[in-house]
Structure 1
Amino acid sequence: MLNNAYKELSSGDNRHFVVVAGNIGSGKTTLTKKLSNRLGWKPFFESVQDNPYLADFYDNMSRWSFPLQVYFLNHRFNTHKNIESGLASSVQDRSIYEDANIFARALFEQGDLDARDYENYCKLYESMIQYLNPPTLMIFLKRSVPKLQERIQLRGRDYEQAIPVDYLTKLNQYYDDWYDSYELGKSLIVDTDDLDFLENEDHFDKLVQKIHDSIDQQEMFFTY
């Protein structure tokens, strides 16, 4: 059964566009890499190392929130269009939809993005997504705040170490709201607190099977 899932997902006859969505430290990049390596899909990663605003943003959110969000919006719009125009199955680390529904919203509601900039951003976002087709499948990675903190500490990015707990908690809340209202297409919710798809190949195999099954189903919830 699993071999059939790998064969069908990696087949050139079936072109898929899958997004891995989730909070900071939820395991998005790890899962994107593993799916790409196992299935032969083309990976598209979040712009982190070459992002000119990210370190400054975590040092002063109010000052850098608007340019950072516009940078991400532009980057993910172009990535999305490149995926759509490509011929290979692809997996993307975070989506343009998260930028607006999670991060820009959180920054506005906590007072780090003023109303004028937020309105401008939302109008720009709405104009851009009219030119995008939603992904085949949206994978939502759910993870508790203590587990997010563990992963953030383990990967050791200096600028992430001081991310406030309240900020991670707020993002988790907004992710939950977004999961509940997502209607753009098929979705799969994965509780990653007890799912170790990095080190445990059995867990990863089970997840791939669920991804395969979800392509033909509207909604799935998976916990190990």
Structure 2
Amino acid sequence: MSLSKIGGLANGFLACSRAGIMSNQARNVVHKSLLRLPSDHPEPWDYKKLGFNYIDGLKDDTQAHLNANSRLIVVEGNIGSGKTTLAKQLAEQLGFHYIPEFRMDDILVDRYGNDLRNFYHLFPERYRLPDMKTFYKNPNGQLSAAMQDRIFNSRFDQYLNALAHIMNTGQGVVLERTPHSDFIFANAMRDKNYIGHEYFKHYYYVRKNAIPQLHFWPHLVIYLNTPVNKCLENIKRRGNVDEIATVDEKYLKTIEESYKDSLREFKKHSKILAYDWTKPGDTDAVVEDIERLDLDFFEWHSGEVMEEWNTIVDAVGWNGWRQYATSKYDARMLAFDGIDTHEVGELYVNPRDTGHFLHVMRKEVLKSPYGYGYIAKNGDHQNGTSNWHTGHHLPEPWYEYYYREAYYDDLTSHETSLDLDSDSYDPDYVHHHH
């Protein structure tokens, strides 16, 4: 296994500085067996249950959680490159939290166990978003762009989840793919004409607006350079005939070429380790490479590498960014609000379709006029005004993905605004408006 120079972009071992956010001496990532925390190190903050706000910051200091292993490591590579295996092994050896690559399945099953795909025959067509299995069966379908739009949006949330986990617990995170590299798929889909030029242009407009709102870049990007023919072999070994037909050599070649641009962008902000992964390498050797990196490196005249992690100087600043990442409200508002889609035909939603979708959710899926977390017959507990949170209507202060449940209460329509029990529900709507 060797460190590869991919287009001159992979530069894993940069000059070291002793200036870091966590101490006056650089502290490198270490194997979990070697991590030593002080006796007064705080317990992880249960952000999923409690959220985090300014009042919480008065009793729980963010910087106190951070340690040598409080890092964000991202594993990138082509489809079938072997990312998942390496990412899991790295997380295990380092004692990091592993976050797998986002899948549409993550937002298509709700808290009550309802798989929305089981109700697609009742939904208007625009609300039958494909999962990857469906996409592979019909990549030229009308909703491929809507699926890609939803994936980018959810990768944005997932990245904030990774940041929130680090800041609230101090535990490092190994994440598969990021919203920063998501454009490799948009490029491949456009190259194969799976998405149209209107949405392609819109995608890059949204990306340009959204990426800066994440603020923090990964400490380290690990890129697995696996030849396309090897990726094809691995994909064929999985045995999904539809995936094999869709993810062909041209598709993978576009991804491979697009990664050159992605790594060039990452290099401005993060350390990069790139490996020739024609034959999967030794995870132990990768861990050793990581341990040799100084991930506290930053000097104002040296560029932007690690800048975001090193220019927050006090407890108030750290607590503010911790709330930003945990709540997602400001980040999502700045990233996605106010961006018009009326000129993007692939993203158009007929208002009447939204009305019917809400009818189906109330009558067939949730069987209740109330939103997620407020349905007593499902065991939900109503706790009065304390359930209100900025940015969403769920009873919990934290959600994993906006488009899993939080979006539901933001949907409105003329059909349902004055018909809370959906008495005007017409099951045959989808047949009349197909």
User: TM-score, normalised to structure 2's length?
Assistant: 0.44
Give the corresponding residue for 1:92. Answer: 175
The Cα shift of 1:10 comes to 5.4
Q: Counterparts of 1:99 and 1:149 in 2: how far apart (Å)? A: 20
1:127 paired with 2:212, answer no
Task: Assess, with a 3 A threshold, how the Cα gap between structure 1 residues 92 and 10 changes in structure 2: closer, same or farther.
Answer: farther
Equivalent residue in structure 1 for 2:93, among 28, 34, 38: 38
Equivalent residue in structure 1 for 2:81, among 17, 23, 26: 26
Q: Counterparts of 1:28 and 1:165 in 2: how far apart (Å)? A: 19
- CA deviation profile, 1:126-158 (whole Å, cap 9, x unmatched): 222122111111111110012112222233345
Equivalent residue in structure 2 for 1:6, among 3, 15, 31: 31
1:160 paired with 2:243, answer yes
1:78 paired with 2:163, answer no
Give the corresponding residue for 1:175. Answer: 259
The answer as to whether partners of 2:145 and 2:199 remain within 8 angstroms in 1 is yes
Give the corresponding residue for 2:283. Answer: 204
Q: Counterparts of 1:134 and 1:7 in 2: how far apart (Å)? A: 23
1:138 paired with 2:205, answer no
Q: Counterparts of 1:28 and 1:66 in 2: how far apart (Å)? A: 25
Q: Which runs of 5+ in 1 are unaligned?
A: 198-202, 219-224
Task: Assess, with a 3 A threshold, how the Cα gap between structure 1 residues 9 and 106 changes in structure 2: closer, same or farther.
Answer: farther
Q: Counterparts of 1:33 and 1:9 in 2: how far apart (Å)? A: 19
The Cα shift of 1:112 comes to 2.4
Q: Higher helix proportion, which one?
A: 1
Q: Counterparts of 2:145 and 2:256 in 1: how far apart (Å)? A: 21
The alignment partner of 1:175 has SS state of helix
- Which 4+ stretches in 1 moved above 3 angstroms? 7-12, 155-159, 214-218
The Cα shift of 1:177 comes to 3.6
Q: Higher strand proportion, which one?
A: 1
Moved more, 37-46 or 62-71: 62-71
Q: Counterparts of 1:154 and 1:136 in 2: how far apart (Å)? A: 33
The Cα shift of 1:108 comes to 2.2
The Cα shift of 1:193 comes to 0.6
- CA deviation profile, 1:13-48 (whole Å, cap 9, x unmatched): 220001001110011111111111221111111133
Q: Which amino acid counterpart does residue 31 of structure 1 have in structure 2?
A: L
Q: Which runs of 5+ in 2 are unaligned?
A: 1-28, 38-66, 107-129, 298-304, 306-434
Equivalent residue in structure 2 for 1:55, among 119, 133, 139: 133
Q: Counterparts of 2:104 and 2:32 in 1: how far apart (Å)? A: 33
Task: Assess, with a 3 A threshold, how the Cα gap between structure 1 residues 84 and 181 changes in structure 2: closer, same or farther.
Answer: closer
Moved more, 147-156 or 26-35: 147-156
The alignment partner of 1:98 has SS state of coil
The higher radius of gyration belongs to 2
Task: Assess, with a 3 A threshold, how the Cα gap between structure 1 residues 140 and 215 changes in structure 2: closer, same or farther.
Answer: farther
Same amino acid, percent of matched pairs: 30
What is the Cα-based RMSD across aligned positions, in Å?
A: 2.4
Task: Assess, with a 3 A threshold, how the Cα gap between structure 1 residues 159 and 40 changes in structure 2: closer, same or farther.
Answer: farther
The answer as to whether partners of 2:191 and 2:254 remain within 8 angstroms in 1 is no
The answer as to whether partners of 1:45 and 1:93 remain within 8 angstroms in 2 is yes
The alignment partner of 2:180 has SS state of helix
The Cα shift of 1:61 comes to 2.2
